[in-house]
Every structure is written in C-alpha cells, then in structure tokens.
Amino acid sequence: MAKLMVLTLLGLGLALFRDHRSSYLTRMNAFREIKPVELPNCKLVKGIETGSEDLEVLHNGLAFISTGLKYPGIKSFEPDKPGKILLMDLNEEDPVVLELRITGSNFDLSSFNPHGISTFTDEDNTVYLLVVSHPDLKSTVELFKFQEEEKSLLHLKTIKHKLLPNINDIVAVGPEHFYATIDHYFVDTYLTSWEIYLGLAWSYVVYYSPNEVQVMASGFDFANGINISPDGKYVYISELMAHKIHVYEKHANWTLTPLKSLDFNTLVDNISVDPVTGDLWIGCHPNGIKIFSYDAENPPGSEVLQIQDILTEEPKVTVVYADNGTVLQGSTVAAVYKGKLLVGTVFHRALYCKL
Ligand SMILES: *[C@@H]1O[C@H](CO)[C@@H](O)[C@H](O)[C@H]1NC(C)=O
Ligand SMILES: *[C@@H]1O[C@H](CO)[C@@H](O)[C@H](O)[C@H]1NC(C)=O
Ligand SMILES: *[C@@H]1O[C@H](CO)[C@@H](O)[C@H](O)[C@H]1NC(C)=O
Ligand SMILES: [Ca+2]
Ligand SMILES: [Ca+2]
C-alpha cells in the first residue's frame, strides 16, 4: 500500500513536471521560427557590440541608449566591464554614438549595470534620466541630470526600496516619480529560476515617489517593458512570458485599473510610444529559449512590432522588421523619430533604419 502511495505521488509529480515543462516551452515560445521581414534602409550603429538593452528618444531627436547589461541567465559579451549610457543624435544624417561622462561624487561607476531607462523633462526643460541599475545584481534606480553642453550626466541620487527588489523597466512621471516593473519576486537566483520555470506569475508593478510607494498591479508572468500614452492617461505593460500587452487606465491618485490586453506570438519586451501618433513600438524575442540559453550557432532572432490604434476595438499590429539572428540578435526595444527607427538588443548590436 505504502509503495502504491509512493508510486502514485511519484507519478503525479512527474505528470505535473511534464505539464510544467510543456507549458514552460509554450511560455518561452520555443517552437517559433522567424519569417524575415526586411527594411531596405538599415545600418548597424557603429560602436555598439555588447548590447543596447534600452533606449529612449527625446522630443528633439537625442537618444539615450543603455549598454553593457549583466543579468542572470543572459549572455554578456563583456562581463568584466561596467555598463555605459550612450548618446546618439537622430537628426544627423549618419549619427554616431558618444559615451556620456558620468559625474557626481557619490556614484560608483565600476558597478554600474544599466538596464531600463526613462527620461523626464521638467517645465524649465531640465532633462532627468532615470536608469535601472543592478550593482552586484541588486536593483537601484539612479537619477541623473542630463547636461547637454558638457555631454555628461550628473548623478543626483540613488533610489532603493524594499518594494523594488528586481526592477526591469521604469517609466518616469516626475523627476523622482516613476512606475517600475518588478520582473520576478525572489531575489535568490535559484528560487527565481523555479519561479520562472513554474510560471508563478508573482511579478508586479510599483508606483514610486519620495512620499508614497505602492504596488499598483500584480500577477504578471514576467512584467517587462512599461510606458505611458502621450496624454498620460494610459499605462502599457508587457508581460513577457504570457506574450501580452496590457493597457491600464491611470488615475489621478496613481492607481491603475485594467482596461484591455492584446495577445501575441512572441515574447514582448520593451514598449516605446511615438509621442506624435501614440503608436506603440515593441522589441520582441520571437523565441525565449534562444535568449536564455545563448548559442552562437543557433542565435536568437529579432522582431519589431508596431501597434496602431491600441485603444480602439481593432488595433492594427504590423511586423515592421524580423530577422533570424544573422543581423540582429535579441531585440529588446524599438523607437521611432521622424521616419527613422532605432532598434536595440539585449546583448548585441543596435540597428538604425529609415522607414
Ligand atoms: C526596454 O526594456 C528595458 C528593460 O528590459 C527597459 O529598461 C527600457 O525602459 C525599455 N525601453 C523602453 C523604450 O521602454
Ligand atoms: C483612486 O481613484 C480611482 C478613480 O477615481 C478610485 O476609483 C479609487 O478608489 C481611488 N483609490 C484610492 C486608494 O484612493
Ligand atoms: C537566416 O537567414 C539568412 C538569409 O535570410 C540565411 O542566409 C541564414 O542561413 C539563416 N540563418 C539561420 C540560422 O536560419
Ligand atoms: Ca524604458
Ligand atoms: Ca525589458
């Protein structure tokens, strides 16, 4: 009898494991193959070889790019070097990148490990750059003031909070005010790998301000990119492993209520919003397995989606660019400026195209 019990339990365990394995492969979109969609006028951005995980374009065409992310489970081509913030002027015919010098006495450059970034422009046109960093794999948000003349970033402050354990992306709504996606719950990497494997969906979104810090949405299977509509009324959140983009209504008291969500056949990462049209531009991982277990012989591809009219009954989704990894591996973000498209990748190059 005891043996039967043990056998039954073992069988149940195995069945559960098999279920989880097949659901894990589905969540990773492991069987997805890429059908290339080319753009005629593209070139690789010179000077970016080791990642361009996040980027954001200011209204004047200056783009900030974060590079050199080191993250558990993600290949780094430059594991011993700190990350950097690069600047690129999209108004130029043939733009090049320039590394922004970081100043400020209390900032430890050697452990700078930039991930998501977001900007906030004040009424007096001061530009603040908020950068998620993972010094020693912890999470902080580093607040900088952009000094355009000097081509530098003045470090103002480091923000840490117990509700901000594992930040992926942020969207700034004030100089020290932002929404952040917490992509997993556990800090310990072993527990995290089980959390992600089992799909516990304990990932959440936090509103942070100096006076108030609060969880505003939860239950995500890896909340990743986050952004806001040009009128500030809607917040968009990408749920990487569930292949969804969620639209939330944002209230004056900063709470969020779910409005709708869209399904995709790809792992949705960063969201950029075109300030003019309100279209969403999304960098995607067609196949998550290839991202988390990097193989140069069978590299991850890239995919860029444009979503028009997201608030209507029939949003229009276009695959603007898709590549099998020959040109661009692991796209995480795409942003547009005056008919130009800039695509970033998690550990690889960046691509610049005329649309
Ligand atoms: C892209 O994703 C990264 C994190 O994965 C995030 O930090 C960044 O803000 C996102 N980019 C945009 C433009 O939303
Ligand atoms: C925030 O505002 C919304 C919409 O006005 C309201 O429904 C909600 O109860 C408010 N929440 C809190 C905690 O005040
Ligand atoms: C990717 O596509 C290119 C051309 O479109 C082709 O030459 C190459 O063999 C493909 N690579 C893989 C890994 O499928
Ligand atoms: Ca961002
Ligand atoms: Ca991301």
Sign, CA dihedral 183-186-188-193, equals negative
Which of 253, 254, 256 to mutate for ligand 2's pocket (most ligand atoms within 8 Å of CB)? 253
18 C-alpha vs ligand 1 centroid, how far in Å? 33
Structural domain includes residue 308: yes
Protein residue whose Cα sits closest to atom 3 of ligand 3: 326
Number of C-beta neighbours around residue 324 at 10 A: 18
216 C-alpha vs ligand 2 centroid, how far in Å? 11
Name the H helices within the chain.
2-27, 189-198, 288-292
Looking at the CA of 216, name the nearest ligand.
2
Which of 326, 327, 328, 329 to mutate for ligand 3's pocket (most ligand atoms within 8 Å of CB)? 326
Range of the domain at 199: 32-354
pLDDT in tens, 303-348: 898 999 999 999 999 999 998 888 888 887 888 899 999 888 877 7
pLDDT in tens, 202-225: 788 999 999 999 999 988 887 888
Structural domain includes residue 201: yes
- Ligand 2 binding site (Cβ under 6 Å of any ligand atom): 251, 253, 255
Say how many CA atoms lie within 13 Å of 191 toward its Cβ. Answer: 6
DSSP 297-340: TS---EEEEEEE-TTSSS-EEEEEEEE-SSS--SEEEEEEETTE
Q: Which one has a higher pLDDT value, 176 or 333?
A: 176
Q: Is 36 in the pocket of ligand 3 (CB under 6 A)?
A: yes
pLDDT value of residue 223: 85
Please report, in angstroms and rounded to a whole number, the separation of the first and last CA atoms in the chain. 70
Structural domain includes residue 61: yes
Structural domain includes residue 14: no
pLDDT value of residue 288: 67
**Among the atoms of ligand 1, which is closest to the Cα of residue 227?**
14
Average pLDDT over residues 278-295: 78
Buried b / exposed e over 66-100, threshold 16 CB at 10 Å, is: bbbbbbeeebbeeeeebbbbbbbebeeeebebeeb
Instruction: Provide, rounded to the nearest whole percent, the portion of the chain with pLDDT above 70.
Output: 85
Total tally of structural domains belonging to the chain: 1
21 C-alpha vs ligand 5 centroid, how far in Å? 24
Structural domain includes residue 289: yes
Structural domain includes residue 170: yes
Catalytic residue chosen out of the listed positions 20, 59, 115, 285:
115
Sign, CA dihedral 44-153-89-281, equals positive
Q: Is 26 in the pocket of ligand 3 (CB under 6 A)?
A: no
pLDDT exceeds cutoff 60 at 140: yes
Q: Is 35 in the pocket of ligand 3 (CB under 6 A)?
A: no
CA distances from 289 to 1, 242, 269, 285 (A): 42, 14, 14, 9
pLDDT value of residue 221: 80
Give the global pTM.
0.83
Q: Is 176 in the pocket of ligand 1 (CB under 6 A)?
A: no
Mean model confidence pLDDT for the chain: 85
pLDDT exceeds cutoff 70 at 175: yes
Q: What is the residue type of 207?
A: Y
Structural domain includes residue 23: no
Q: Which one has a higher pLDDT value, 250 or 139?
A: 250
pLDDT exceeds cutoff 60 at 12: no
Spatial CB neighbours of 118, under 8 Å, sequence gap ≥ 6: 56, 129, 130, 169, 170, 171, 172, 178
Protein residue whose Cα sits closest to atom 5 of ligand 3: 36
Q: Is 54 in the pocket of ligand 1 (CB under 6 A)?
A: yes
Structural domain includes residue 15: no
14 C-alpha vs ligand 1 centroid, how far in Å? 37
Annotated binding site for Ca(2+): 53-54, 117, 168-169, 224, 269-270
Our measurement of the distance from residue 206's CA atom to the centroid of its chain's CA atoms, rounded to an integer in Å, reads 15
pLDDT exceeds cutoff 80 at 281: yes
Number of C-beta neighbours around residue 225 at 10 A: 27
**Among the atoms of ligand 3, which is closest to the Cα of residue 298?**
13
pLDDT value of residue 324: 87
Q: Residue 283's pLDDT band (boundaries 50, 70, 90)?
A: confident
Q: Is 181 in the pocket of ligand 1 (CB under 6 A)?
A: no
255 C-alpha vs ligand 2 centroid, how far in Å? 7
Distance CA 237, CA 258 (A): 10
CATH code: domain of residue 320 = 2.120.10.30
User: Is 251 an annotated catalytic residue?
Assistant: no
Instruction: Provide, rounded to the nearest whole percent, the portion of the chain with pLDDT above 90.
Output: 40
